Structure 1
Amino acid sequence: MAFRSVDFSLMRTKVRYFVKCYTYNQRCGISSALFMTGDQAKNNFSFISPVLDFDSKFQNISLLEKNVQLRGIPVNVHSLKRMWDFQEGIRATKKKIEEKRLEITKSIKELQKSESPEVISEIEKLKLLSQKVRQELKVVAAALWDLEGKVVPKFLSIPNVLHERTPEEKEELIHSFMDPPRKIQELSHIDIGNSLGVLKCIGPLCCYLKNEAVKFEMESIKFFVERLKDCRYVQFSNPDFVKSIVVEGTGLDQEDPFASFILGRDASDDLDEQNPNRLHLVGGASIAPFCSYFSKQLTVHPLPIKLFTIGRQYNSYPIQTKGSLLHSCQASAVQFFVGLQNCAVSETSFFDQMLAFLVSAYQDFGYHFRVVYVPAEKLASWESLKASIQMYSSYLQSYIEVGNVSVCEDYISKRLLMYHDVPGVGADFFRIVTGTVISIPEVLACVLEDPSNHKYGKLFLPPHLDNLFQMD
Structure 2
Amino acid sequence: MFQYKKIDVNISQVCSLYETFRIITTELNVLRSKHNELSKSSNHPFTNESKIILIEEAKKLKQQIQQKESSLLEVEKELLKEALKIPNDTHFNTPIGNEKNAKLIKQIGEQIISSNDLSLKDHLTICKNLNLVNFDQASKVTGTSWYYLMNEGALLELALIQYGIEKAIKKGFTPIITPDVIKSEFSLACGFQPRDNEKVSQNYFISNETSQNLVLSATAEIPLAGLYSNKILSYKELPIKLVGFGRAFRSEAGARGQDTKGLYRVHQFSKVELFAFTKHDQSDKMFEEIIELQEEIYKDLGLCFRIMDMPTYELGASTYRKYDMEAWMPGRGKWGEISSASNCTDYQSRRLNVRYKSDSNITEFVHTLNGTAVATPRLIMAILENFQKDDGKSIVIPKVLRKWMCNMDVIKL
Q: Output the TM-score relative to the length of structure 1.
A: 0.70
Matched, 1:191 2:121: no
1:128–1:294 Cα change, 3 Å:
same
SS at match of 2:328: strand
User: Where does residue 325 of structure 1 map in the other structure?
Assistant: 263
Deviation of 1:213 after TM superposition, in Å, equals 2.9
Deviation of 1:194 after TM superposition, in Å, equals 0.4
SS at match of 2:282: helix
SS at match of 2:177: coil
Q: After the TM superposition, which residues 144-159 of structure 1 pair with which residues of structure 2 at under 5 Å, given as runs?
A: 144-159=72-87
User: Where does residue 214 of structure 2 map in the other structure?
Assistant: 279
For residue 356 of structure 2, the aligned residue among 407, 412, 420 is 420
SS at match of 1:166: coil
Deviation of 1:424 after TM superposition, in Å, equals 5.4
User: Where does residue 296 of structure 1 map in the other structure?
Assistant: 230
Q: After the TM superposition, which residues 16-165 of structure 1 pair with which residues of structure 2 at under 5 Å, given as runs?
A: 70-73=4-7, 75-77=8-10, 80-82=11-13, 84-85=15-16, 87-89=18-20, 91-92=22-23, 95-96=26-27, 98-99=29-30, 102=33, 138-165=66-93
| 1:60-104 deviation digits (Å, cap 9, x = unpaired) | xxxxxxxxx95543x142xx4135325514642662575488579
Contact 2:343/2:370 (8 A) holds in 1: yes
Unaligned runs of 5+ in 2: 409-413
The 2-side partners of 1:230 and 1:253 are apart by 34
Contact 1:385/1:406 (8 A) holds in 2: yes
Contact 2:174/2:243 (8 A) holds in 1: yes
The 1-side partners of 2:254 and 2:243 are apart by 30
The 1-side partners of 2:150 and 2:38 are apart by 81
User: Where does residue 47 of structure 1 map in the other structure?
Assistant: none
Percent identity over the alignment? 21
For residue 382 of structure 2, the aligned residue among 415, 426, 446 is 446
Contact 1:258/1:318 (8 A) holds in 2: no
| Amino acid across the alignment from 2:102 | E
Matched, 1:174 2:105: yes
For residue 455 of structure 1, the aligned residue among 390, 399, 410 is 390
The 2-side partners of 1:247 and 1:398 are apart by 32
Contact 1:306/1:336 (8 A) holds in 2: yes
The 2-side partners of 1:193 and 1:113 are apart by 84
1:136–1:400 Cα change, 3 Å:
same
Unaligned runs of 5+ in 1: 1-68, 266-270
Contact 1:71/1:378 (8 A) holds in 2: no
| Amino acid across the alignment from 1:380 | G
| Amino acid across the alignment from 1:281 | L
User: Where does residue 25 of structure 1 map in the other structure?
Assistant: none
SS at match of 1:409: coil
| 1:174-199 deviation digits (Å, cap 9, x = unpaired) | 11011222227785421231023322
The 2-side partners of 1:311 and 1:89 are apart by 41
Contact 2:276/2:369 (8 A) holds in 1: yes
User: Where does residue 37 of structure 1 map in the other structure?
Assistant: none
The 1-side partners of 2:245 and 2:294 are apart by 16
SS at match of 1:236: strand
* Alignment RMSD: 3.7
Deviation of 1:167 after TM superposition, in Å, equals 1.7
The 2-side partners of 1:195 and 1:129 are apart by 83
The 1-side partners of 2:21 and 2:238 are apart by 41
Matched, 1:264 2:207: yes
Deviation of 1:233 after TM superposition, in Å, equals 1.5
